[in-house]
Chains A and B, each alone.
Chain A
Amino acid sequence: MKNPDSTPAAGGPQITRRSVLRGALNTAGGLAAFAAAVSPLRDLDRDELTLERFLQKHYKEMTPDEKDRALQRIAAEVERRYAARPELRDLPAMDGVEFAYALNLGRCIGCRRCVHACVAENNQSRDPEVQYIRVLELPRGSVDVERADHYYDRPAVPDPDHFYMPVQCHQCANPPCVKVCPVEATWQEPDGVTVIDYDWCIGCRYCEAACPYFARRFNFAEPSVPREKLNTDMTYLSNRPRRKGVMEKCHFCLQRTRAGRMPACLEVCPVGARNFGNLLDPDSQVAQILKTKHVLVLKQEANTLPRFFYYFDEDFPRNRGSAPARGSEAHRKGLSLTVLNPQAAQSLPGRGRGGPA
């Protein structure tokens, strides 16, 4: 052996220039790797490492006093970041109210106004863009979400060969996302809305994987909301600004709906395809729709029991195509289907549910 340094010496390890250099190089490399690995910590600002924040309890375990203090802390943080004093409050669920949504697929034209009204209302990140609502464009004839496209970009909508299906959080009565949460940061409120405690979420994204509707969004980057675009009307469980690394999703605009107002996506819909209301009130919009329309839910086989219903108008020419000519086979078939009694259909020509063709 030419090099005596590398042979095991009898009297323990010898310190040579080579071993010192090698050790120094490895230590420097190791430190560099460690520093790079922990470098995201540099992005933390002082609001993220406060004792109050660290010791804050879960939303459901906080006493009213603790809740007030948490709200004040968050409001101060928001004011520091956005230079606007938010009206941050905590709105509890109302008694005897169960929110539900119904969407008329025959009316929706896929204009995406709801998507952006939601972004503006709920302080979602603009860059990178976080959107709660996805509008699917589906070929006419079936509800086949495998053939849906949510990146459609046409000069004008609606396209005559397609129909449009906005998908957002379905506020399931049997929510898979709540079951998988390892820290119980998401739960179902008494009014049926599944909410997230953004301060309790650890960002594991299990709920995102569990949701069959792709309704949950993760903040991969620090959300950016322009100061002048911040919606200052906010509640703890709904649209207060989120941080990087937490989940968020549609919450039926709790800051509006628990104060009695309609959700933002509904008010902006130019064709009135969206309906919202209290499922337990028999006179509400959604209760009327469930009573009088043929309602479907998306991915019924997942047994999620959504509180978000889709329906088609029974008699709307856009969905029916051209009406069959009177006296034709298709027309008689349609009559026998609608009237159910062939004799009655024979005696009342052209008197089907749709009226004369």
Chain B
Amino acid sequence: MSTAQPSTRGAWVAALMGPAFASLAAWFIWGPALTRLPVGKPAVVPDAALSTAARRTTVGDPPTILINNFRRTCTDCHRIFDVAARPEGDRLQHAHVKLEHGINDRCQNCHNYRNMNELVLYDGGAVTYSEAPRLCQKCHGLIFEDWERGIHGRVSGAWTSELGPVQRLRCIECHDPHQPRHPAMDPLQPLPGPATLRMGTPPAGGAHAPELREGDPLRRALLHPQLSGNNRTERAQHEKP
């Protein structure tokens, strides 16, 4: 018996080698699929979201409006309708204009009541519409300085004027002067899953689930597959009722 024992063990090893190799082959083929991190569908990005055009189109200088197919400027009406005589807030026209500009809540702070085609400075001096930044400078001096230096506002074109045209926007090409705060935006979809294991998986309980972002992301993904991946639609359905 003592002489036969090593050869029995050898027989066992040899008999198990075939299945071992076969399972190794199976692991090579299907293993990656089993351990792959759950990553959702890529984001759909509408081309319009990536537009580099200015956010607003500005009125001309002087501003014009089409009334009965005649192009009119402000003074065409306002030489008859004396705005200075009317109390503030009692507007016949321009009712759609909602003024949300902080403590600046009077039309005449910016509009020149003597000549409605123009804007007005503190000393009564007139500013044309194309020079609007000079008007904004009245209150926003620090930001105006930044804008003059080229470090405020949206730019495009060349990074130095030596290499091509630099397109700079004026204040009212981004900000609505009547509601200067930018409206809230819809953010584009987040990354559907981690680009590396160091990044962690997206939280399923919404953005406020810090406990889910801690620990080893791979282990968590394997233990709680339902907590990972892109469940944007599920969450949307969940939030409805």
Contacts and interface: CB of A to CB of B under 8 A. Distances in A.
Interface stretch (B41-49, B65-73, B109-117, B121-129): B41-49
Interface residues of A, number: 76
Contacts of B164: 260-261
A154 interface: yes
Interface stretch (B75-83, B86-94, B150-158, B218-226): B150-158
B170 interface: no
B57 interface: no
Contact of A214 (B29, B187, B199): B199
Contact of B22 (A1, A6, A32): A32
A39 B32 CA distance: 13
B138 to A, nearest CB: 12
Interface in A273-322: 275-278, 281, 284-285, 288-289, 292-293, 313-315
Contacts, number: 198
Interface in B210-232: 210, 213, 232
A66 interface: no
B18 interface: yes
Contacts of A153: 187, 189-190, 206-207, 232
A259 B154 CA distance: 20
B154 A272 contact: yes
Given A37-B28, A149-B203, A271-B182, A112 B187 contact: yes
A268 B47 CA distance: 12
B49 A26 contact: no
Contact of A150 (B11, B191, B206): B191
B237 interface: no
A113 interface: yes
Interface string A133-170: 01001000000000101111111111000000000000
Contact of B159 (A112, A117, A262): A262
B220 to A, nearest CB: 14
A25 interface: yes
Given A7-B7, A128-B39, A261-B157, A152 B14 contact: no
A137 B203 CA distance: 14
B152 A272 contact: yes
B157 A29 contact: no
A262 B142 contact: no
Contacts of B3: 7-8
B24 A33 contact: yes
A147 to B, nearest CB: 7
Nearest to A277: B159
Interface in A73-129: 102, 109-113, 115-117, 119-120, 126-129
A292 B142 CA distance: 11
22 contacts: A6-B7, A8-B7, A29-B19, A30-B21, A33-B25, A111-B185, A117-B50, A120-B45, A129-B42, A153-B189, A157-B185, A214-B195, A214-B199, A217-B196, A259-B163, A266-B156, A270-B182, A285-B149, A285-B150, A288-B149, A292-B146, A313-B146
